[in-house]
Amino acid sequence: MGDKGTLTLMKGVGEIVRIPYHSYLIEDPEATVLVDTGSSVRWRELHPETLVKAFPVHLKEEDHLENTLSSLGFTTKDIDYVINTHLHYDHCGNNEMFPQATFLVNKNELAHALVPEWWEASSYVRAVFDNPRLRYESIEGEFQITSGVKIIPTPGHTVGHQSVFVELAKTGLLVLAGDAIYLRENLEDPVLPGLYADAELYANSMKFLKHIVGLRKGTMLLSHSDEYFCPDGWKSPNRRIEVFD
């Protein structure tokens, strides 16, 4: 739960809304990849008091990341790569569950997360990602993980934000936008989010993703939305979104 003004700049300020956190499992023949790890199941313990009060996390036991993976037939040990779209606390909160994985993070993002400027520091919670047991690989620019999974830089929300492109045999391009786009409203109004590092870069990243999804007739999943965009327009997902079938 949180203030809508953090999602839509100067719109809905003071309105408390549900803000979902999504993680995405990609079962590729070459590797098993997890995109983002959500907000920590130990959030009360690890988050500073200001975040605990401003953005309380509501997690049922079955929604804990390890339990969600188990319901899909996976364990935390099955994950080869974790892609953090960025290192805000709600996208890397459960990194500690995957000590065997390789974490792929943009070089600039890692630098800013470890030594943030004052204007970006509040969303980086070092306790959830700076763990000596974790193996981070800092990358620059586009990065091909497997023949069907690629990381694309989409800066703006943070200096080193990145999105993920997945090529699906049946349904074509799937874009995991991360926080490059929060909601349908950000695209359609359009309106910037309430939190960003660079407004111009953010707007350009939104424009790029919207263009490529339209051009490729792809599907795009947004990080804090209960909807996704596909050639048939906006839809509400189920747990296993139709595009994966």
**Structural domain count, the chain:** 1
Residue-wise pLDDT for 60-90, tens only, equals 888 899 999 999 999 999 999 999 999 999 9
Write out the residue range of the structural domain in which residue 192 sits. 2-244
SS3 (DSSP) at 101: coil
What's the Cα-to-Cα distance from 127 to each of 9, 88, 168, rounded to whole Å? 28, 11, 35
Instruction: Determine contact, residues 36/84, Cβ cutoff 8 Å.
Output: yes
What 136-143 contacts at long range (C-beta under 8 Å, 24+ apart), as own/partner pairs, is: 136/103, 136/105, 136/110, 137/102, 137/103, 137/104, 137/105, 138/105, 138/106, 138/107, 138/110, 139/104, 139/105, 139/106, 139/107, 140/106, 140/107, 143/104
Residue-wise pLDDT for 182-209, tens only, equals 999 999 999 999 889 999 999 999 999 9
pLDDT lower than 50: segments of the chain: 242-243, 245
CATH number of 163's domain:
3.60.15.10
What integer pLDDT is reported at residue 243 of this predicted model? 47
What integer pLDDT is reported at residue 68 of this predicted model? 94
What integer pLDDT is reported at residue 242 of this predicted model? 47
What integer pLDDT is reported at residue 170 of this predicted model? 85
What integer pLDDT is reported at residue 238 of this predicted model? 56
